[in-house]
Amino acid sequence: MTHPLSLAGALLLGSLLALAGCASVPPPEAELSAADLALRSAEQADAAHHAPLEMRQARDQYDEARRAAQEEHNLEARRLAESAEVDAQLAAAKARAVRARAAADEIRDSIESLRSEAQRGADRVQ
């Protein structure tokens, strides 16, 4: 049979250990800074236009991370900040890919135009 005091002591000890574990997670300052930088980079890449879903997710997660950090839920804040950073990086990459595709299409059109001109010139010579 379990003694009531030993059960209460075990519960108290478990609670204290859980609180100590939560308190030992440092504030996610570096993660929040990295997420902020990734968001700014994505904004400069015009990701809001080319990857709006990813940008919205990144901003929402960043805002949630800041709120969690203010409430000292550091582990959750760190996870959200890291997720926001990755989503912002994805949005920036998608925006760069769209711009690269547009540039490639423009170059392809220029090459085709030059080929047509060259062919017309060759036809005149013959």
pLDDT for residue 42:
97
Total of domains in the chain: 1
Q: Could you count the other beta carbons within 10 Å of the beta carbon of residue 1?
A: 3
Tokens encoding 68? 């969690």
Q: Is residue 121 part of a domain?
A: no
Q: Is residue 112 part of a domain?
A: no
Q: What is the pLDDT of residues 25-77, one digit of tens each?
A: 999 999 999 999 999 999 999 999 999 999 999 999 999 999 999 999 999 99
pLDDT at 89 over 90: yes
Q: Is residue 52 part of a domain?
A: yes
- Distance (Å, whole) CA 61 – CA 72: 16
Q: Is residue 11 part of a domain?
A: no
Contacts with 81 (C-beta within 8 Å, 6 or more apart), sequence order: 28, 31, 32, 34, 35, 61, 62, 65, 69
Q: Is residue 105 part of a domain?
A: no
Give 47: exposed, middle or buried? Use CB within 10 Å, 0-12, 13-18, 19+: buried
Q: Is residue 69 part of a domain?
A: yes
Residue 87 structural domain: 19-96
Q: Is residue 68 part of a domain?
A: yes
